[in-house]
Amino acid sequence: MAARRPPAVARVLERITKTARAHDLFTSDDLVLLWVSGGPDSVCLLESLVRLRRLFGLRLAVFHMDHRLRPDSATDAAYVRRLADRHRLPFHLAVAVDEPGRSDSVEMWGRFERAREAGRVARAIGATRMADGHTLDDQAETILMGLVLGWGLDGMGGIAPVNGTLVRPLLDVTRTEVEAFCRALHLRPRRDPTNADTHLLRNALRQEAIPAIERSTGRDVKRTFARTADHLRRDASALFAHADEHAEVLVELREHGFAIRARPLLDMPPALSSRVVRRGFQRADLGWDHDAIDAVLDLAAGAPGRTRDLLLGIKARRTRTHVEVQG
């Protein structure tokens, strides 16, 4: 008879199973590339899917991105490699060769580098899915960040369970449940010291704002935020479907970037034009933020010859008929 799982482990596996089935995260014989930083969330992701791979018929591989932002970052990679070896999983390491620019958000730069390198590995090994360790707490923090930073409907929609081939199996699991899972299995995840810095907005929301809201309301607001995000994502999805129709006509992929027809872009309502521009960045595999989207729209409304410097060294230029964006 198989050993009975500790309750903390069984609880997380049950939540992941429910989420996977509700959102069709996996299909049988998927090769899933797991994004594992070595922190509690991603370690929980790896250990959970190892235990659920037979249920869903999955093959697993492990990806780690060393951004070289801390002197000891290589020890995180070594830890993740040991986890992969323990479960006899293929391990893939990417090491950043560049650094964020002075004007770049380090968090944005890091996310883009990781996604780009993971996508490269996924294509090389034939992975049909990628998975990261975003949790319910990340969802709540992202929604509040969207409110604070004015991200609009899309930001308030938070983190989607499925984004192309990237899936989030832990999105209904709380960080408290992750920690209990790791303790029950005697795991010792890596700890990023920057997570304690409340000068960073996400950390301040995590450690100060959300606990204060929960104390004052006496409610678990994280799940309330998540339900609200579900409703808003449905609305945003309908707008994106309409925007995709326009993007097929207006966006032209170019080497190292894209071009978008300026005049038809300006004739659209802003709710559509901003999403068409975002699709341009996404299809060209370029990093973007809301300032970058606003810059492209501003160029479209201006005279030919104007240029703008965007994040991550990306440049945009207004020609007579288009806005050209080059990475």
pLDDT on residue 22: 96
How high is the pLDDT of residue 104? 67
Give the confidence band of 1 by pLDDT, cuts at 50, 70, 90. very low
Confidence of residue 106 (pLDDT cuts 50, 70, 90): confident
CATH topology for the 7-134+164-192 domain: Rossmann fold (3.40.50)
Rounded-to-integer distance, Cα 59 and Cα 128, Å: 10
What's the pLDDT tens digit per position in 234-250?
998 899 999 999 999 99
The pLDDT value recorded for residue 10 is 97
Mean pLDDT of the chain: 93
Residue 3, pLDDT score: 64
Nearby residues of 216 by Cβ (< 8 Å), 6 or more positions away: none
Name the pairing type of β-strands 307-309 and 315-318: antiparallel
For domain 228-326, which CATH number applies: 3.40.50.300, 3.30.465.60, 3.40.190.80, 3.90.1150.10?
3.30.465.60
pLDDT digits (tens, 9 = 90+) for 113-166: 999 999 999 999 999 999 999 999 999 999 999 889 888 887 788 999 999 999
Q: What pLDDT is stored for residue 109 in this prediction?
A: 83
Residue range 23-79, pLDDT digits in tens: 999 999 999 999 999 999 999 999 999 999 999 999 999 999 998 888 888 999 999
For 208-272, give the secondary structure using H, E and C: HHHHHHHHHHCCCHHHHHHHHHHHHHHHHHHHHHHHHHHHHHHEEEECCEEEEEHHHHHCCCHHH
Is the pTM value of this prediction over 0.85?
no
The domains of the chain are located at 7-134+164-192, 228-326
